[in-house]
């Protein structure tokens, strides 16, 4: 299943981010391997979205070294290789799913067949001609995910893609993420729901802009001596206090 885990899509050293007047990320060091689903978990406001924005190159106030596939994050040549889902579904409300996908495909220089493929991948074929404003929240976030899949990016950065989805759909999406990882994609998924942790190959547990733990779910649970990630998180937080 897991491909060469030593190959890293992302390598970060001493990452510090200042937003407004506050330092939000405080000197992070981490890597994200290809061929795995890496979960970025932590409570609301801890800096997950900020970290993801750094990787795709849209965050200002960044210091430290952040390389993606060997190039500085945000480099022009990387823009074809990264699929990014922002936290709020970023598709056009007044266009249909097909029109949205066709537009982003044109921006990326891809054809309509690729747009259709991505609509199929997120299981929205039945709603392809519906205007996004008339979709449910979950359908809308899947439409946003479909855009990120365009052109088979080698790194997927997904900011809380499963929020508000029913259990069946969440299951489907997680399977999809693992399918992509198995095909060699580096998948980074954030969530503030700890029960999604078990679905990741590897976890980065974050709190207030620092990592509390970095490892497989099993390793983290063992180290903390806790039955699940939620308790592990709590016991690490208490241990640190």
Ligand X SMILES: Nc1ncnc2c1ncn2[C@@H]1O[C@H](COP(=O)(O)OP(=O)(O)OP(=O)(O)O)[C@@H](O)[C@H]1O
Closest CA relative to residue 200, chosen from 185, 216, 222: 216
Nearer to other proteins, 82 or 213 (CB): 82
User: Which two tokens mark 77?
Assistant: 């040549």
Nearer to Mg ion, 45 or 70 (CB): 45
Q: What part of residues 136-155 is at the interface with other proteins (CB under 8 A)?
A: 147
The b/e string for 32-46 (b: 16+ C-beta within 10 A; e otherwise) is bbbbbbbbbbbeeeb
Q: Maximum CA pair distance of the chain?
A: 54
Contact 101, 118 (CB under 8 A): yes
Q: Pick one of 1, 6, 44, 94: the residue that binds other proteins (CB under 8 A).
A: 94
Stretch that binds Mg ion, among 1-9, 13-21, 80-88, 102-110 (CB under 5 A): 80-88
CB of 179 to ligand X, least distance (A): 26
Nearer to Mg ion, 158 or 224 (CB): 158
Nearer to Mg ion, 50 or 96 (CB): 50
Q: Pick one of 12, 41, 82, 119: the residue that binds other proteins (CB under 8 A).
A: 82
Q: Does 237 bind other proteins (CB under 8 A)?
A: no
Q: Pick one of 92, 116, 178, 214: the residue that binds other proteins (CB under 8 A).
A: 92
Q: Does 130 bind other proteins (CB under 8 A)?
A: no
Q: What part of residues 153-182 is at the interface with other proteins (CB under 8 A)?
A: none
Torsion sign across C-alpha atoms 92, 93, 94, 99: positive
What is the three-class DSSP state of 38? strand
Question: Long-range contacts of range 137-141, CB-CB < 8 Å, 24 or more positions apart?
Answer: 137/89, 137/164, 138/164, 138/165, 138/166, 138/169, 140/89, 140/91, 141/85, 141/89, 141/165
φ and ψ at 45, to 5 degrees? Answer: 85, 5
CB of 143 to other proteins, least distance (A): 12
CB of 19 to other proteins, least distance (A): 5
Number of residues that bind other proteins (CB under 8 A): 35
Q: Does 19 bind other proteins (CB under 8 A)?
A: yes
Nearer to Mg ion, 46 or 118 (CB): 46
Q: Does 109 bind other proteins (CB under 8 A)?
A: yes
What pairing do the DSSP bridges indicate for beta strands 37-41 and 186-191?
A: parallel
What is the three-class DSSP state of 142? helix
Q: Pick one of 87, 90, 116, 152: the residue that binds Mg ion (CB under 5 A).
A: 87
Distance CA 79, CA 64 (A): 20
List residues near Mg ion by CB under 5 A. 48-49, 87
């Amino acid at each position: 299943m897991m491909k060469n885990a030593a190959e890293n899509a992302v390598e970060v050293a001493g990452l510090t981010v200042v937003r407004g007047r506050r330092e939000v990320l405080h000197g992070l060091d981490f890597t994200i391997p290809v061929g795995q689903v890496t979960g970025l978990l932590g409570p609301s406001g801890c800096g997950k979205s900020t970290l993801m924005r750094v990787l795709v190159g849209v965050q200002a106030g960044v210091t430290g070294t952040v390389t993606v596939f060997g190039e500085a994050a945000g480099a022009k040549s990387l823009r074809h290789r990264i699929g990014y889902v922002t936290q709020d579904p970023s598709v056009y409300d007044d266009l249909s799913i097909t029109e949205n996908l066709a537009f982003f495909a044109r921006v990326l220089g891809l054809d309509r067949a690729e747009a259709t493929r991505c609509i199929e991948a997120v299981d929205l074929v039945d709603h392809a001609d519906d205007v996004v404003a008339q979709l449910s929240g979950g359908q809308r976030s899947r439409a946003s995910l479909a855009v990120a899949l365009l052109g088979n990016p080698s790194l997927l950065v997904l900011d809380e893609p499963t929020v508000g989805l029913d259990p069946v759909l969440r299951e489907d999406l997680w399977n999809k993420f693992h399918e992509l990882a198995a095909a060699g994609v580096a998948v980074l998924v954030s969530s503030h729901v700890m029960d999604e942790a078990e679905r990741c190959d590897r976890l980065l547990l974050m709190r207030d802009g620092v990592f509390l733990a970095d490892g497989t779910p099993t390793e983290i649970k063992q180290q903390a001596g806790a039955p699940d990630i939620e308790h592990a998180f709590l016991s690490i937080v208490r241990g640190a206090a």
